[in-house]
Structure 1
Amino acid sequence: MSEVRQNIISTFCRRPSVGTLGRQIRVRSNFFEVLALPTQNIIHYDVTITPDVPPALNRKLFEEFETIHREEKLNGIRSVFDGRKNIFAPQNFPFGDAATFEVTLPENEIVFIKRTPKIFKFKIKKTGEIYMDELHRFLQGRNSMTPNCLTVIMALDVLIRHLPSMQHVTVGRSFFTKAGAQPLFGGAEVWQGYYQSARPAQEKMLINVDLSATAFYESGPLVQIVTKILGRRTPDDLRRGITDKELIRAEKTLKNLKIRVIHRGEATSKRNFKIVKLTPTPASQTRFDAGDGTTIDVASYFAKTYGRRLSYPFLPCAIVQKNVYLPLEVCEVIEGQRHIRKLNEKQTADMIKFTCQSPHMRANKIKQGVDILSYRKNDYLKQFGLEVTNDMIVIQARVLPVPTLQYHPSSREHTFQPRDGSWNLKDKKVAQGAVLGSWSILAFGSERDLPTQSIQAFIRELVITCQENGMSVPNRTPPIMHTNPQGDIEGTLKTSWLYAGNAAKAQPQLIICILPNTGVPLYAEIKRVTDTVIGVASQCVQSRHMMQAKKQYCANLCLKINVKLGGMNSFINPSQIPFITDRPTILMGADISHPSPGDPSRPSIAALCASMDARASRYSAAIRVQTSRTEIIADLANMVKELLKTFYQTCGRKPDRILFYRDGVSEGQFAQVLDGEISAVRAACMSLEQTYKPTITFVVVQKRHHTRFFPLDKRDSDRTGNCLPGTVIESGITHPYEFDFYLQSHAGLQGTSRPTHYHVLFDENAFTSDALQVLSYNLCYLFARCTRAVSLVPPVYYAHIVCRRARFHAKDHWSDTESDSEGDQGAASTFAVVKPELQKVMYFM
């Protein structure tokens, strides 16, 4: 790539003039203005602590180091530490450019680290000065984001987090407090956390403060925790002993948990341990060598040595090191240990309840967090000269006009403007109805559980609803078949497919599967077989919904079935999306889904979805499996080529313009993704024709951020207290000079809505702020499977769904739970490809 070309790509798009469309309003946002930045340069030191230990322990050591040396060796200077390698100070340390110190570890910490010496070495070395004036120039848009600016922002981050991380449990960028903790099912509890991050904005720095929540193990008697893990009310409920299955469950949850023992009196009660495993036998039957050639069981030993008769001799013991067995009742779980294991369904539901807070409640809790942080009283901030306001920032916003939606001209209400981001299908017919002629029903359950009569009643309601909403259903009585959900799923789906074809004397179009539960395994196998083996659209229905057969539910099914068969549900008045309708234009949305952190052997999946018509209502998808956790889409060029060919076959024209929305990229990866992926899109175009060079706009779409908006005036909020759909913000909290904006395009259902952050990295289509904001907002009304405006543009939303679906295309290789196996290194080869006949329709809906 030439030097000039490199330069265009690595400096991202500058913001065109600010948008003016829509009604002006004011909103609060969870950012707090930095009133004063350090005036002096910040000194950066590198620290090496040996031996190597986790950040939480490093912080304890640093605290000890400061306490001992602050006055004498450090001259009273308060420096801040990131828990790993970096120390930042407001002035030079008196000991010169380098020094080595020794720090003694507090006694009660020693047990958690194997073979840890009590004395640690601190090697501190000056790495340089960080210049503040460079940051000021960047905030004013006078120079680019330099490595020096990045280091200043990192130093400010460390500075605001230093004191909370010393005083509270810290996870990532959040600190957590036990105050107001709520129990989760099974011995866990959820703690309230506060996230903070230093963010650059136009001509100022801001501190972003938000709520977070994470699960911790409950502290207190280990017996109580085990009782809760096993879903019992009291330890007495376990008198009959616990089964092997329960033992495995408890052991899996407790492994590596830190405990303290309480049977040795006050003086030695600080003795701490980690649970390695549980004994397979109860305390009364767990024997060990007494040291005199005889063996003794744990219960008798405790009675003899400590005069303590065990209350629960029928429970197992915790093994904390070789041949050290502790009865559960003499152990206490130490507070503040994060619950890293995957939460079960009940725990997840409790967690959602805790985190789901109305905008008003969330704003108040953030205010409480700022009070806990108390920036004004923080001695570290004072020494650096950093001042932060206690009030949330108030910024200008606009509410964009609502687009006009269009359904089939024969509908009673065929053009209309939705209100509050949602509408229904009453009096409307889909823009282009598909014909459903050859289909069958497969019920996973016995005739007794899923009576044929109930299924027929449901089919009648579904057929009537589909016809009312503009689909054509010539075959109203599809064949019904019952099967065992534990049986040969692939075989029965093939039989059901044959039934459909034979009954209608035509190529089968759809299999409706009635499922007995919401479990993933059956659903996953159905999708694997129908998508990759048979090549037929499938629609899953939960039996409880089938039994009720409500009109609204059937209408939602109709929307999904129609697009799966190649129909179109609705479109926007062409005059409101001129960028797409004036000239042949393709919208593309890309996403990568990575396996869970506990499963490094599974691959990542990349999906690309692209619009296939001038109404941006029909989409086609391409999928690739690639090396785990790589951020760049490896085979993007071929994926783009595939979809450009499909566009040409569908429309008879090559697109003149490409608008590419890319999900799943963090700020640090912008340059890398842009360089790699723009080149791939260009290469795909040129491989089709050497002179083919459509204009490209590349926009990163982010949902994983901590920005929230709170309307100032009740008139500017919806019924949940959130901002109205179409609220756009592009000043006050956005980048100092690059082209980015926040758009809240959906109506809130519950809790506080999260806006979507759009960041334009590259633009050859000369978008104005208004044009891109309105286009992105209007597209959110075209998500095919619901009658609501959604929170992010459909091409990306579809790519996200396709990634999730593709996980099911691996035979025996998907999982909705934590993996305990080492995994299959050749995982990629087990993923099957979607059948060609489905690739051109929206089978994934």
Structure 2
Amino acid sequence: MSDTQFLIGTFCRRPALGNLGRQIRVRSNFFEILALPSQNIIHYDVTITPDVPPALNRKIFEEFEKISREGPLDGIKPVFDGRKNIFAPRSFPFGDTATFNVTLPEDETIPSKRTPRTFKIKIKKAGEIYMDELHQFLQGRNPMTSNCLTATMALDVLIRHLPSMRHVTVGRSFFTNAGAEPLFGGAEVWQGYYQSARPAQEKMLINVDLSATAFYESGPLIQIITKILGRRNPDDLRRGFSDKDRIKVEKTLKNLKIRVTHRGEATYKRNFKIIKLTPTPASQTKFDAGNGVTTDVADYFARQYGRRLSYSHLPCVTVQKNIYLPLEVCEVVEGQRHIRKLNEKQTADMIKFTCQSPHLRANKIKQGFDILNYRKNEYLKQFGLEVASDMIVIQARVLPVPTLQYHPSSREHSFQPREGSWNLRDKKVAQGAVLGSWAIVAFGSERDLPTQSIQAFIRELVITCQDNGMSIPNRTPPIVHTNSQGDIEGTLKTAWLHAGNAAKAQPQLIVCILPNTGVPLYAEIKRVTDTVIGVASQCVQSRHMMQAKKQYCANLCLKINVKLGGMNSFISPSQIPFISDKPTILMGADISHPSPGEPSRPSIAALCASMDAKASRYSASIRVQTGRTEIIADLANMTKELLKTFYQTCGRKPERILFYRDGVSEGQFDQVLNGEIKAVRAACMSLEESYKPSITFVVVQKRHHTRFFPLDKRDSDRTGNCLPGTVIESGITHPYEFDFYLQSHAGLQGTSRPTHYHVLFDENTFTSDGLQALSYNLCYVYARCTRAVSLVPPVYYAHIVCRRARFHARDQHWSDTESSSEGDQGTASIFGVVKPELQRVMYFM
């Protein structure tokens, strides 16, 4: 390869492939495109007026195709993305621009009277896509140009065109109700199939995966309402609705599309949208029936349609001003997405549906491939696109397992875990903290949480912590009972004073026993202990406290030890030479955004950095910034903070920085790389003009649809997933940039999701083996469990810190099922700052 080829593209090029570990073969959910369109693809811009949603746009386009196939389109089968783009295998005969009128036939899918039936389609040539440029990119001879991006988009639209016309589509997935399963409360889960065209080395692939989403059940509205209220059958509604019932039903049904059944199917199939429920039952909901005559809905239906209502004691739905429909004449239209947040029961049912073993998932993907039916797709044929019918089989390697170190006095102080997990039996933590000054707060009465039970739990916890190498001179901390609805801040301050007075020393820990898993209480405890008092806190659920199992106490010990500044375990320095040879800092960054329903809440950025030569201890920095921005705004100052802390802890300046960045999609690589590397550089130079450590910047992605299925049983764990340490760097990766997939954890249930690492910038000249082995080995030193985790700890910690920081806001209305946002909550000022004494330890664990 000539030197000039290395200058292509802004990101780091892949070094030679690695060879560390045992070679194996795996199947992955990609199907190879055997033949790409040989001719250039013509791109047209389309404008449909008036403006309507994509699903209706598709119907308009389908109608346009029907009437134009022989005339204006001359037999060409173009594909449409539902919004603005049409792609065709050759130019349309009408030249560069044309306008057509399309009238939709009478159809029940028109949502309201106000939607017109006649539309104007304006088609204008936007350009030509040169397929040769895409071939050059796939072979690593050309960078990814905007032409290559448009070509990939055109392939995406091409493979999705037919399924989108026939099925409900959401994003890049389409859904079918075959095999739908009910979720609690009138919703059901549908199986979906995701598909996307992806470039790889010397070829294009189609990534096909399963997805699932919740829909409203279709059918009689009265049945759905019965389920929303958790009743057995409609007869249970005979007593009518309470106000609380009505509000709950109204909230769930608002904007749902229904059709009526009382006018005979042949003549009337119009859709309506539910606006609200009437506060009065049908027998008392009055309206003007014309000629100044006022009547109620039940009476009107008896006279007009000769129909006595069975549920006249229930409210009506309002679909337009002064149009009321009794519940029993309404049917929910099929295929409507359930966009409200699922409750706990629904979420549990959803997880059950989506959690499938690798073998089952692979079979279902194959079924999805058959539904997609690329073989007989006329559109694909016309473009000359051919797709292989079997999943791709690729080379992989299983990396060697690192050696973990615990305290030298442990019976088993140095060992290699098997299949990614181990336990604390016969092991003492590498560095045990001393816990002398602490208190217990029980959020519940003496009757609910008896002092005797709490004392028994403390005994078990103390014994377990001491067996595992911590030192606890004070075995009887003071216990405070309090009401979980009361003054939580005051109670925690009192507990802090009790702890200090009892031990005559600065309090180190408050253990809180919680009555439930609710968010509000937990959030308030963390806000107060992290930002008001400045003391580590450990929450325990009362049901676990009552049982006080050894395994549970061992898990608590891991968390408490690092919160107090201890170290649980580490990897032999010889196995992480990059970190142990020279002073090196690992950084992990993440941004968490508010959910779509909370426009006024800010985003939170977190940066975590290692503070020792073993990369076991971490410190964190947090910033609150404008909602939904992807770049970390104050990264320079955050980096500066952590570099100073590193220097104060180790007495040396880091000579190397390895920066792992989470939460970035491909489209944002450029932006993040340019903005954030500059910020890290600026932070170094602001400390000292000549200080220029070498930087490696790696993006870490978990949100993707790549899955691996072992070919040989020997290469799988007991759940049927790939073994921890499985690394894939060819076959499905970028044509020439430095990226790889690493499955570092052992599967617990379902199909494991590997982590995708993409190196954007590298001044440390990593080899493939070097970065893959280091990233894998680090996954064994995540402090709060005895398992290898699925992504590198600095990023994992940043993720936890982001989540924790949400709780540092005053006056938030935390709720498990719905998010509420107050108008003034977009400001950073309501977020408390973590106390300096906690910033040096891993308080967030």
Q: Structure 1-normalised TM-score? A: 0.98
> How far apart, in 1, do the equivalents of 2:742 and 2:617 lie?
24
Secondary structure in structure 2 of the residue aligned to 1:809: coil
Contact 2:108 2:269 in 1 (8 A): no
How many angstroms apart in 1 are the aligned matches of 2:566 and 2:581?
Answer: 23
What is the rounded CA distance, in whole Å, between the counterparts of 2:291 and 2:171 in structure 1? 51
Q: Which residue of 1 aligns with 2:748?
A: 749
Aligned to 1:829: 829
Alignment of 1:614-693 (within 5 A): 614-693=613-692
Deviation at 1:269, TM superposition (A): 2.9
Distance 1:416 1:814 in 2: 47
SS of 1:742's equivalent in the other structure is: strand
* CA displacement, residues 761-799 of structure 1 (integer Å, 9 cap, x when unaligned): 000000000000000000000000000000000000000
CA distance in 2 between partners of 1:731 and 1:252 (Å): 50
Deviations 1:275-323 (A, max 9, x none): 0111011111111112232321111111111011111111110100000
1:723-802 aligned at under 5 Å gives the runs: 723-802=722-801
- Give the aligned residue type for 1:840: R
- For residue 267 of structure 1, report the CA deviation from its aligned partner: 2.6
Preserved CA contact (<8 Å) 2:108 2:270: no
Does the 8 Å contact 1:318/1:325 carry over to 2?
yes
Aligned to 1:476: 475
Retained in 2: the 8 A contact 1:180–1:192? yes
Structure 2: distance between partners of 1:132 and 1:165: 25
Q: Name the SS of the counterpart of 2:532 in structure 1.
A: helix
SS at structure 2 position matched to 1:460: helix
Match of 1:839 in 2: 839
Aligned to 1:69: 68
In 2, Cα distance between equivalents of 1:588 and 1:408: 26
Matched, 1:325 2:321: no
What's the CA shift for 1:240?
Answer: 1.4
Structure 1 segments of 4+ aligned residues over 6 angstroms from their partners: 7-10
Instruction: Tell me the distance in 2 between the aligned counterparts of 1:844 and 1:22.
Output: 35
The CA deviation at 1:818 is: 3.1
Deviation string, structure 1 residues 796-821 (Cα, Å, up to 9, x no partner)? 00000000000000012263443355
**For the residues of structure 1 that align with 2:448 and 2:135, how far apart are their CA atoms?**
69
Distance between the aligned counterparts of 1:10 and 1:534, measured in 2?
50
- Distance across 2 between alignment mates of 1:110 and 1:700: 44
Which amino acid counterpart does residue 844 of structure 2 have in structure 1? F
Tell me the residue number matched to 1:699. Answer: 698
In the alignment, is the contact (CA less than 8 A) between 1:609 and 1:796 conserved in 2? Answer: yes
Q: Does 1:153 align with 2:152?
A: yes
Q: What is the DSSP-based 3-state SS (H/G/I as helix, E as strand, rest coil) of the residue aligned with 2:458?
A: helix
1:113 and 1:693 map into 2 onto residues whose CA distance is: 64
Instruction: State the partner residue of 1:47.
Output: 46
- Structure 2 CA distance for aligned equivalents of residues 9 and 133 of structure 1: 17
1:193-592 to 2 correspondence within 5 Å?
Answer: 193-592=192-591
Cα 1:10–1:751 change in 2 (3 A) is same
Aligned residue number for residue 3 of structure 2: none
Q: Is the 8 A contact 2:344 2:817 kept in 1?
A: no
**2:776 is paired with a residue of what secondary structure?**
helix
CA shift, 1:823, in A, is 3.2
Query: Aligned partners of 2:761 and 2:610: how far apart in 1?
Result: 20
SS at match of 2:311: coil
CA RMSD, 1 decimal: 1.1
Aligned counterpart, 1:4:
none
Counterpart contact for 1:439–1:478, Cα < 8 Å: yes
- By how many angstroms is 1:742 displaced? 0.1
Cα distance in 1, alignment partners of residues 499 and 455 from structure 2: 16
| Counterpart amino acid of residue 32 in structure 2 | E
Q: CA deviation at 1:105?
A: 2.5
Deviation for aligned residue 1:115: 2.9
Code of the residue aligned with 1:310 in structure 2: it is L
Tell me, in whole angstroms, the C-alpha distance in 1 between the residues paired with 2:528 and 2:677.
35
Partner AA of 2:20 in structure 1? L
Deviations 1:404-463 (A, max 9, x none): 000000000000000000000000000000000000000000001000000000000000
* Counterpart secondary structure, 2:823: coil
Contact 2:813/2:820 (<8 A) preserved:
no
Compute the displacement of 1:8 (Å): 8.3
CA distance in 2, matches of 1:390, 1:818: 43
**Structure 2 CA distance, aligned partners of 1:788 and 1:820?**
36
Residue equivalent to 1:819? 819
Which residue identity is paired with 1:527? K
Q: 2-side partners of 1:605 and 1:450: how far apart?
A: 36
Q: Give the AA of the match of 1:782.
A: V
| Pairwise CA distance, 1:135 | 0.4
TM-score by length of 2: 0.98
Whether the 8 Å contact between 2:419 and 2:717 is mirrored in structure 1 is: yes
Contact 2:401 2:417 in 1 (8 A): yes
Q: Is the 8 A contact 1:807 1:814 kept in 2?
A: no
Q: Is the 8 A contact 1:707 1:755 kept in 2?
A: yes
What letter is aligned with 2:124?
A: K
**Separation in 2, partners of 1:293, 1:66:** 50
TM-aligned CA deviation for residue 242 of structure 1: 1.2
* Matched residue SS, 2:194: strand
| Equivalent residue letter for 2:766 | F
Partner letter of residue 836 of structure 1?
Answer: P
| 1:580 aligned partner, one-letter code | I
The answer to whether the Cα contact below 8 Å between 2:49 and 2:121 also exists between their aligned partners in 1 is yes
For residues 245 and 823 of structure 2, what CA distance do their matches in structure 1 show?
A: 25
Q: Distance in 2 between matches of 1:226 and 1:64?
A: 36
Deviation at residue 268 of structure 1 after TM alignment = 2.5
- CA contact under 8 A between 2:516 and 2:541: conserved in structure 1? yes
Contact 2:31-2:387 within 8 A present in 1 as well: yes
Size of the alignment, in residue pairs? 839
Which secondary structure does the structure 1 equivalent of 2:446 belong to?
coil
Alignment check: 8 A CA contact 2:80 2:87 kept: yes
Cα distance in 1 between the residues matched to 2:813 and 2:673: 31
Taking the aligned partners of 1:99 and 1:109, their CA distance within structure 2 comes to: 30
Change (3 A) 1:741 1:52: same
Asked if structure 2 preserves the Cα contact closer than 8 Å seen for 1:108 and 1:272, the reply is no
Question: Residue type of the partner of 2:196?
Answer: S
* DSSP-derived class of the 2:521 partner: helix
Residue identity matched to 1:67: K
Gaps of 5+ in 1: 1-6
1:192 match = 191
**Contact 1:601–1:825 at 8 Å: present in 2 too?**
yes
Q: Is the 8 A contact 2:9 2:144 kept in 1?
A: no
* Rounded Cα–Cα distance in structure 2 between residues aligned with 1:767 and 1:543: 48
Measured at CA, do residues 760 and 53 of structure 1 come closer, stay the same or move farther in structure 2, by a change above 3 Å? same
Please tell me the residue identity of whatever aligns with 1:373.
L
Letter in 2 for 1:172: G
Match of 2:174 in 1: 175
Counterpart position of 1:16? 15
Residues 821, 675 of structure 1: alpha-carbon distance in 2 compared, 3 angstrom cutoff: closer
Q: 1:665 to 1:503 in 2, by over 3 A?
A: same
Alpha-carbon distance between aligned partners in 1 of 2:8 and 2:344, rounded to the nearest angstrom: 45
Deviations 1:656-685 (A, max 9, x none): 000000000000000000000000000000
**SS where residue 578 of structure 2 aligns?**
helix
Given that 1:808 and 1:814 are in contact with CA atoms closer than 8 Å, whether structure 2 keeps it comes out as no
CA distance in 1, matches of 2:299, 2:7: 78
Identical-pair percentage: 87
